[in-house]
Amino acid sequence: MQLLSLATYHEGRRRNEGKEGTRSDPSMSSPPLVVVVLLLLLVTTALARCLLLVEAYQYNASSGPLVTSVIVFGDSIVDPGNNNGLPTLIKANHPPYGKDFINHQPTGRYSNGLIPTDLIAQGLGVKQLLPGYVGVDLSPEDLLTGVSFASGATGFDPLTPVVVSVISLEQQLLYFDEYRRRLVDIAGEEETEKIIGGALFVVCAGTDDVANTYFTTPFRSVAYDIPSYVELLVSGAEAFLRNVSARGASKVGFVGMPPVGCVPSQRTLGGGPGRDCEPERNRAAQLYNARAQEMIAGLNAEPGFPTLVVFLDIYRILDDLMERGDRYGFTETTRGCCGTGTIEVTGLCDSRFVSVCDHVDHYVFFDSYHPTERAYRIIVNDIFDNYIQDLL
């Protein structure tokens, strides 16, 4: 409202000065003092925030990257293309995926452009893109600065990757062991220990367990209720974090679950004719996040546990994007940009069969499951604002 008042003041002044022989109204000679003060406060706050963001996010050539490397395990949110060569339908190496990526190339990233781990690597000054590990010809520099072992549609439930023939988290750890040996060949044992010890590790999984294995297939829901299934996932997550810690990780960002029931495909599958948010999926996500935070607190308090694990809450920011998207400039929050936006994902989101929206930046989701690059940027900015200082 203060900005509106100042604009009104200037417009009134222009009108008065434009009238021949009319002297300006003394009351319009200067803006109210309270408006000036409020504007100065707004500008000062915005400038301070910008300076903080620059300091936290951007690469400083004199000080170098904020971590030695970025090493990632998880699912499609952080998979840059490791599924491309697998005998699975869970792939994103075809248009329209990558439509806003470099040269409009579909790399296997499940979005129109960059994914969170690219943005994290950029923000920490490590590199512009975080590559996949599987089936990729990696340069020594790529290896030295980190990779992603993530595989779309995997999870902490050992059944989840089996159902869709993707890379299990256990196999991702074996790939890491291979990766470490390659680091030793390049840089030697001592330097390898420094690289791994100074790396930011990111673990992002669990959503596919809930959305796909529990609610879409009958394999788990007949034997587990939601609380007991969440315990299965949290137990798997703890075992995985212990394995990552044993491999030399000093700091791990552990990504929580989003509001699974409000994802477009889950609205379609469980939200009834109105495609409402499905409450049971969201209840599972909330319970998982609460239990995961308790588990992480226990690990961090455990004598002799050498790794700091930080829980990265994405439920809150994604819920805000979906419920109050207009605040961020989004006009569509319940459908994806690809096809009808209600069910199309991976093989169903294919330019040979479906079209895409005209204004992807107006959409929170690119397909019916994965956010757009613009939404990812907002999510990663929130992570940097709230958590990254604890991981440096």
The set of residues, in sequence order, having a beta carbon less than 8 Å from that of 76 and lying 6+ positions away, is: 90, 92, 110, 150, 151, 152, 153, 208, 369, 370
Q: How many CB atoms lie within 10 A of CB 2?
A: 16
Could you give the C-alpha distances from 106 to 18, 82, 350, 351, 367, in angstroms and in order?
57, 13, 11, 11, 14
Cα 5 from Cα 8, distance rounded (Å): 5
Catalytic residue among 79, 118, 209, 370: 370
Q: Are 171 and 241 in contact (CB under 8 A)?
A: no
- Secondary structure of residue 14 in the 3-state scheme: helix
Q: Would residue 370 show up in a list of annotated catalytic residues for this protein?
A: yes
Catalytic residue among 69, 75, 76, 265: 76
Q: Would residue 94 show up in a list of annotated catalytic residues for this protein?
A: no
- Secondary structure of residue 336 in the 3-state scheme: strand
Spell out the alpha helix ranges (H) of the chain.
Answer: 2-18, 33-57, 116-123, 140-144, 159-164, 169-187, 189-197, 207-208, 226-246, 264-270, 279-301, 315-323, 373-386
Locus of tokens 């995985």: 240
Q: What is the DSSP letter of 88?
A: S
Catalytic residue among 148, 367, 368, 382: 367
Positive or negative torsion for Cα 28, 34, 39, 44: positive
Positive or negative torsion for Cα 204, 210, 212, 213: positive
Q: Which token pair is 122?
A: 């950029």
Cα 114 from Cα 373, distance rounded (Å): 6
Active-site amino acid positions: 76, 367, 370
